[in-house]
Structures are given as structure tokens and as C-alpha cells.
């Protein structure tokens, strides 16, 4: 199925030399435009303008960027510094850069020449890519099995928020990957796509991915989700996560928490899909999660079409819709407490109910990956 | 305080003859442009393009339109037909037209000449205007008293949705009128303004009115309201209503119901403010309320600035944000069941708890307007 992916990022080796090719997400869904990066400054620019975005895929961009510098004979240390600083809050970006740099250094220390070290670095980036794709595949299968258990009989109507698919991942994604598995299993009746204001990642990107997969889907304003719940048209909510605290509190795109409250009010499962790296043992609970406040302009202005960058996340340029000087409250994320989360699905299995002990056991490095515990935690 | 209103509609008599002057709501908040209608076709055009919108003020437009036709010697019957058909679902529009037509006919039947009948018709339009303004003022006082009872001590942080102020009313409006009274009483700490997707009446129009009143206010995406509740930043929700069923179910702009569920989850009062004419005894319950489904383009396209009509409600012209062919779910309204509504505030008093019996007694024509009953219904 991998060739059905819309690659957010790929490595190519044309005769002119290796390049990193990105799908420009700022042009979606109007145009599928690729950005070809022949050096690290070009890749850094693409990261900064959000041509490539999303935690897992930023890790890949960092690793391939280091590999690109090594392959083309640039200063690898300088490339790593530029890449790591492109989006200072992106932990995954630095993780990918660091892994590639370590591989490069180790190769040189082992006596490899520049070409051999470059090949080793590229191999490390590709390994990270495979790991991410594998994690996506396992999350998709765990999530699909959970839904079959919770909602036997298929014909599922699933609601999602923001964008969690192939565009942010080396594989099929997190929540969207589960939806995709359900769809491929012939059990998706409809995907409800929250538009996800203010930056419309749902309307723009999740719809784009759903259309590419030929899913039955409908876009809705975030406020219209309540009507769907009231009408009994939502069987489960599936979302991703930006961070999961040790107690199971889930930080995700703003608008997730109202869905959790609606889901609870209507007795609908609320499922979070995220790799184990999203669980942060250093964050004890929801109150400890610092929520980024974004520029008010994202709310008080409507983005205008411009090439390139219809909706650049960091520097929106728009037409004012609110009065001049209007203040806005614009948190990037909200926090859903664990008691409203039916299950957390990871590549290592499912935690349900969501408890600190269950999460800790799942994330433990010593934990066998195929056991099944009886304490409310499902593995496979 | 009436001269602080931004008049959505007014009658003027310059030397060239009488006119109806409208504030063009499609140009707000960027520009305050007035539309001067010298005849009924011009007024019909303004109604169709939503230069004037909102149930109560459409009633006034209908009545003044008939008065304009009478004063300028046009065919009153033909004018009434054109006006009533301008927005076929607008009950208030027809109500205003019918009242003015009846006044005109009665005057002619009583032997009045054309000029006298025109004067009588204008007097009827003005009476409707006064009634509407009076109802606004009484709702504002009842609402303010209710909030003082529920939330003594002032310093209120109120959340509202859509636009319910001077722009849709001959007076101060419904929910916004209550906010205004709280503000004038020095007890408004902050007004949280839901932007109200898809047509952004909150960001565009409520913010405009809040700015004119120099209120402390902030705009937010509809999905960000959950974060405010979670942070304890909302003391009460105040919304209007498009229709209230006999059982107390409230149809209002889509996005209202999720606020009701959040308010209940957080123990925050959820207050509906509407004139008694909004209560429809012929609609038994929420299930009997037919919900208008609006064009999907309102969701899948972002409105582009154009003059006139930044956001024409019926014919949005926009830039696609979702893929070509994307389906959208776009109900205009949602329904909140009475058990989630703390109180219904009308010009005749407050119903709380919201029950069929309480609503029926309030709406009864024989009901004394100044009694106070002991069955959970407050009057004054």
C-alpha cells in the first residue's frame, strides 16, 4: 500500500546529485507542487515557510537534510545547526538531525571516507523513515482492532480533527492512519472532517488525503460537530496528540477538548492515536503542559490566496474580518483530561482506561512488545 | 442611550422625498457604508444581498418598505408582494409587511386620502420599531437582573455566539443587549466573542458592536471556547434564538449546542435571550424543528474581499480551501434541549427552569405582565 501514499518527503538521486523533494503543503489542496531542495539552506527555507510541517515528518526532514549535506560535501556540523534551528520548538526535527549526525560521526570515527560516511548517514535517515512508517502501520492495526472491539459490525462514522495523515508522517499517520485502515477494510461509512480553525488543516489537508484515498468524507465547521453527535451520526472520535502527560492528559490541536466533552455527553468513544514518543514522562499532568498562544491575526484575519503559501502557519497574511485593534484568544492546543479519553493507541498497543500506570508500562523500554496484560491494557 | 446605537435601519425625509437608510452589513467591519433606498426594488435588493439581515430588523425593513411605497405613491400591494418574497423564510419580514399593509388598508377604509394613509402606515412602522426597541430594553434589564442573581459580585466574563445586537434589532438586541446592560452597569470584565463559522457573524459583527461600545472583548475560534471553560474563564454563556419550541428546545446558530454541553460540563449558566415571538407553540419539541442545510460552499470556500458584500450569506464567493468536489455538512442551526438551558429571558420575564408550562404561561396573552409567580418563573 506504500505506493498509494502521497509522499510528504522523499530522497532522490538524479544525475545532477542527490536532492530532498517535498510536497509543498502550503499549496494544498489547490495544487500539488513539489519543492526540490539541493542544499540545506533550501530545506531550512521550506521548513520555515511550512512547506513541510508535522512532527514526525520534520524529524525525517532533519535526518535527510544532514544526509544531503554529507552527500554533497557540505559542512555537516553547520548543516545540523541550521536545520535544528529552523523551528526551535520542533523536538522531532532535532531528534532526526541528531540521529543522522551521530551516524555520520560514528562512520568517520570508524575510519570511513566521506562517501562511505555519507552513505551511512543516508542509511540512518532511511532507517528513521522506515521506523516511522512501521509505527504508523502498527498504530493503524491496533486502532482498527480497538474499533472492532468497541464498535463491532463496521459501517463506521468517524470524526477527526486537524491533520494526522501521510502529510505529517513517514507512513500512514496516526489517527488518519487508523481511519485509512478502517477504510481499506471496507468498514468506513463516513469520515467527518472538522475544518480546524484557524489554519484549516482539516479542510485543506485531511480532506485532501481523504479525497486521494477515495474515502466517503464531509467537511464541517468545528461548531457543527455538536449537531452530528446529537443526531447520532458519530460512532467514534479519532485524534492525534502533540504531547501526552504522564497522567494521560492529551494536548492536541485546539478544538479537541470540546469534542471530548461532546463525546462523553453522547457516550461516544474518544480515541487518541500517537506514537509512544509523544508520551512525556517529564510532564506530570495537564496543568504542567504549557500551551502556545498563537498570533491573534490567525483569528482576526482571513488568509488570502497567494503563491507560495496559501496558509503559512507562522506568518499568515490576510484580510481583516474583525475590527482594527480587536484582541483575539488563540491557543494552539487544548488539553483533554485522561478521564475523557477512552483509549490511547500507540505502536506498542492500546492503553484503556488511560491511567498513569498503564502509560508507564506501555512506554517502559523493557516491556515485551507482544504480551497482553490483564490490567486494562491491550497489547499485541 | 438610544443615540449610542449604530442604526441598522432608519427612515429619513430629505427634501427629495422619504427614504429608508440602511447600514450595509456586508461591508462591516471594514467600512460603515450606508445604502439609501428611494424605492422598494432598492430595498428588496438590499435584503437579498444581506445588506440588512437579522429577524427583528427585517420586520422593520418590511414595514418601512410598505410605508415608503405609500409615501411615494407606488402600488402598495405590489410593494408588499415584492418585499415579502425577498427572503421567503423570513417570518418577521412578512410580519412587518403585513402589519403595515393592514394599517394602510384600514386608513383608506376609514376614508383617509393617500397622504393620510401613507402617514398612518409610517406611524405603524414606527410603532413596530418602538415595540422592538422596548422589547430589547426589557430583555436587557431582565437578563441583567438574572445574572446578578446567578452571579452576584459583577466582574463577569460572558461568552456569546453569532450576532444578536443592534444590527439585528430596532433596539439593543437580545443576548448582546444583556451584555451591553452589564457593560453599562460596569460589571463586564470581558466579552468572549465566538467567531461563528462559517459566516463569521461573531468576528465581523459582534466584534464591531463590542468595539463601538468600548467593551473589553476578545474574538476566538469556535473550537477555542472549550479552553476558556476549562480554564474557568467563562461565567455565563448568553445567546439568542431563532426559534424556541413549546418544550423549550432552542434552535440557534450552529455551534450553540456544543457551548451548552460545555457549559453543563463546567457548571456554567447557559442563558437564551429572545422575544416571546420566538417561542413557537406550533413546534412541539426540538425534533420538530426543521434545520436549514446551507450550501457547502460556505465551508469549503473562504470568502474573498469584494465590494460590495464581503460575506453575502446567500451567495458566498470564495477561494476553495477543500479539494474540488468535497462534500460539506453545513447546518445553519442546531438545537439545544431545554434541560441544558439555564433560563430563557424574554421581554416579559424569565423562565427558569425551562419547562413547557413555564413558557406557555409566559407567552399567554392574558398573562399579567407584572405578576411574579412562584413556579420557577420570574416576572417583573
| pLDDT value at residue B55 | 76
Write the pLDDT tens digit of every residue in A237-262: 999 998 899 999 999 999 999 999 99
pLDDT at A137 > cutoff 60: yes
Which pLDDT band, with edges at 50, 70 and 90, does A310 fall under? very low
Give how far Cα A175 sits from Cα of A191, A217, A266, A273, B255, Å: 12, 15, 21, 5, 24
pLDDT of residue B302: 80
Q: What is the DSSP letter of A374?
A: S
The answer to whether B221 contacts A30, with C-beta atoms less than 8 Å apart, is no
Chain A CB contacts of B159 below 8 Å = none
Q: Which residue has the cell 562517501?
A: A115
Minimal C-alpha gap between A211 and chain B (Å): 7
Would you say residue A188 has pLDDT above 90? yes
Residue in chain B nearest A265 by alpha carbon: B261
pLDDT digits (tens, 9 = 90+) for A69-125: 999 999 999 999 999 988 866 667 888 999 999 999 999 999 999 999 999 999 999
Q: What is the pLDDT of residue A55?
A: 76
In chain A, what percentage of residues exceed pLDDT 90? 73
Please tell me the distance from the alpha carbon of residue B226 to that of residue A41, in angstroms, as a whole number: 40
How close B84 comes to chain A (CA, Å)? 30
Asked if B254 is an interface residue toward chain A (Cβ–Cβ < 8 A), one would say yes
Alpha-helix residue ranges (DSSP H) falling in A151-300: 175-184, 201, 207-212, 225-230, 256-265, 297-300
List A24, A194, A235, A242, catalytic entry: A242
Q: Rounded CA gap, B256 and A160, in Å? A: 20
CB-nearest to A211 from B211, B304, B326 is: B326
Residue A38 to residue A17: CA distance in whole angstroms: 8
Least Cα distance to A84 among A200, A162, A76 occurs for A76
Residues 32-51 of chain B with CB under 8 A from chain A are none
Residue of A nearest to B32 (CA): A323
Number of cross-chain residue pairs from A and B with Cβ atoms under 8 Å apart:
198
What is the secondary structure of A154-178 as a DSSP string?
--EEEEE-S--SGGGSSSS-SHHHH
CA-wise closest residue to A78 among A59, A50, A101: A101
Are residues B334 and A207, on separate chains, in Cβ contact within 8 Å?
Answer: no
- Between CA B200 and CA A47 the distance in angstroms is 31
| Closest CA–CA distance from residue A148 to any residue of chain B (Å) | 26
All residues at 6 or more sequence positions from A220 whose CB lies less than 8 Å from its CB, including other chains: A192, A193, A194, A195, A228, B299, B328, B329, B330
CA distances for A340 relative to A231, A263, A272, A331, B9, angstroms: 21, 8, 11, 20, 48
C-alpha to C-alpha distance for A256 and A258, rounded to whole angstroms: 6
Work out whether the CA dihedral B154, B155, B161, B162 comes out positive or negative: positive
Residue A292 DSSP code: P
**pLDDT score at A286:** 94
pLDDT of residue A268: 98
Whether A203 and chain B come into contact, CB under 8 Å, resolves to yes
Orientation of helix B55-71 relative to helix B91-109, angle to 10°: 30
Sites in chain B below the pLDDT cut of 70? 1-6, 88-91, 303-317, 366-380
pLDDT (0 to 100) of residue B224: 98
% of chain A residues with pLDDT over 70: 89
- Please identify among residues 289-348 of chain B the ones whose CB lies closer than 8 Å to any CB of chain A: 291, 296, 299-300, 302-305, 310, 319-331, 334-335
Whether B221 and chain A come into contact, CB under 8 Å, resolves to yes
Flag whether pLDDT at A6 surpasses 70: no
Q: Please state at what angle helix A114-150 crosses helix A55-72, rounded to 10 degrees.
A: 170
Whether the predicted pLDDT of A180 surpasses 50:
yes
Q: Are A112 and A120 in contact (CB under 8 A)?
A: yes
pLDDT in tens, A189-236: 999 999 999 989 999 999 999 999 999 999 999 999 999 999 999 999
pLDDT at residue A378 in the model: 39
With helix as H, strand as E and coil as C, how does B317-334 read? Answer: CEEECCCCCCEEECECEE
Nearest to A257 among B230, B299, B304 (CB): B230
Dist CA A35 CA A61 (whole Å): 13
Mode of pairing for the β-strands spanning B279-280 and B243-245: parallel
Distance of alpha carbon A4 from alpha carbon A9, whole angstroms: 14
Q: How far is CA B326 from CA A185, A222, A329, B260, B301, in A?
A: 22, 16, 30, 29, 10
- CA gap A222, B265 in Å, rounded: 18
List the one residue out of A49, A47, A48 whose CA is nearest residue A9.
A47
C-alpha cell at A166: 501521510
Produce one character per residue of A197-222: b if its CB has 16 or more CB atoms within 10 Å, e if not.
bbbbbbbbbbbbbbbbbebebbbbbb
Q: How many CB atoms lie within 10 A of CB B110?
A: 10
Contact B221 A226 (CB under 8 A): no
Is a pLDDT exceeding 60 seen at residue A312?
no
* Chain B CB contacts of A327 below 8 Å: 217-219
Cβ–Cβ contact B2 with A under 8 A = no
Per the model's pLDDT, the better-predicted residue between B375 and A156 turns out to be A156
Tell me how close the Cα of B34 comes to any Cα of chain A, in angstroms: 18
Catalytic residue list of B? 242
Q: What is the mean pLDDT of chain A?
A: 89
Nearest CA to A57 out of A141, A125, A120, A144 is that of: A125
End-to-end CA separation in angstroms for chain B: 22
Give yes or no for residue A303 having a pLDDT over 90. no
Tracing cell 427572503 back to the chain, one arrives at B87
Amino acid at each position: 500500500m506504500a505506493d498509494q501514499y502521497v509522499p510528504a518527503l522523499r530522497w532522490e538521486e538524479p544525475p545532477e546529485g542527490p536532492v530532498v523533494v517535498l510536497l509543498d503543503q502550503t499549496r494544498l489542496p489547490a495544487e500539488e507542487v513539489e519543492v526540490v531542495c539541493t542544499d540545506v539552506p533550501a530545506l531550512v527555507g521550506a521548513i520555515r515557510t511550512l512547506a513541510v510541517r508535522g512532527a514526525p515528518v520534520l524529524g525525517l526532514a532533519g535526518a535527510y537534510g544532514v544526509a544531503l549535506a554529507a552527500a554533497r560535501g557540505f559542512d555537516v556540523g553547520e548543516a545540523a545547526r541550521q536545520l535544528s534551528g529552523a523551528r526551535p520548538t520542533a523536538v522531532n526535527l532535532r531528534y532526526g538531525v541528531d540521529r543522522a549526525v551521530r551516524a555520520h560521526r560514528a562512520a568517520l570515527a570508524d575510519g570511513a571516507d566521506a562517501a562511505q560516511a555519507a552513505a551511512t548517514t543516508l542509511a540512518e535517515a532511511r532507517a528513521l523513515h522506515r521506523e516511522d512508517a512501521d509505527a504508523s502501520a502498527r498504530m493503524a492495526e491496533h486502532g482498527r482492532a480497538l474499533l472492532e472491539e468497541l464498535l463491532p459490525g463496521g459501517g463506521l462514522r468517524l470524526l477527526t480533527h486537524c491533520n494526522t495523515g501521510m502529510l505529517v508522517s513517514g507512513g500512514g499517520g496516526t489517527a488518519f492512519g487508523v481511519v485509512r485502515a478502517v477504510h481499506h477494510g471496507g468498514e468506513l461509512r463516513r469520515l467527518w472532517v472538522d475544518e480546524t480553525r484557524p489554519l484549516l488543516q482539516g479542510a485543506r489537508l485531511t480532506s485532501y488525503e481523504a479525497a486521494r484515498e477515495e474515502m466517503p468524507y464531509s467537511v464541517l465547521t468545528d461548531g457543527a460537530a455538536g449537531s452530528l453527535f446529537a443526531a447520532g451520526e458519530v460512532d467514534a472520535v479519532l485524534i492525534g496528540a502533540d504531547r501526552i502527560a504522564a497522567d494521560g492528559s492529551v494536548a492536541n490541536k485546539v478544538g479537541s477538548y470540546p469534542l471530548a466533552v461532546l463525546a462523553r455527553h453522547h457516550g461516544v468513544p474518544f480515541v487518541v492515536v500517537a506514537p509512544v514518543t509523544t508520551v512525556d514522562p517529564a510532564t506530570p499532568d495537564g496543568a504542567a503542559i504549557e500551551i502556545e498562544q498563537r498570533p491573534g491575526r490567525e483569528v482576526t484575519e482571513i488568509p488570502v490566496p497567494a503563491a507560495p503559501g496559501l496558509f503559512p502557519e507562522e506568518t499568515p497574511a490576510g484580510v481583516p474580518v474583525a475590527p482594527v485593534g480587536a484582541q483575539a484568544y488563540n491557543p494552539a492546543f487544548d488539553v483533554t483530561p485522561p478521564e475523557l479519553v477512552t483509549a490511547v493507541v500507540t505502536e506498542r498497543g492500546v492503553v484503556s482506561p488511560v491511567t498513569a500506570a498503564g502509560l508507564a508500562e506501555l512506554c517502559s523500554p523493557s516491556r515485551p512488545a507482544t504480551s497482553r496484560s490483564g490490567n486494562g491494557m491491550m497489547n499485541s
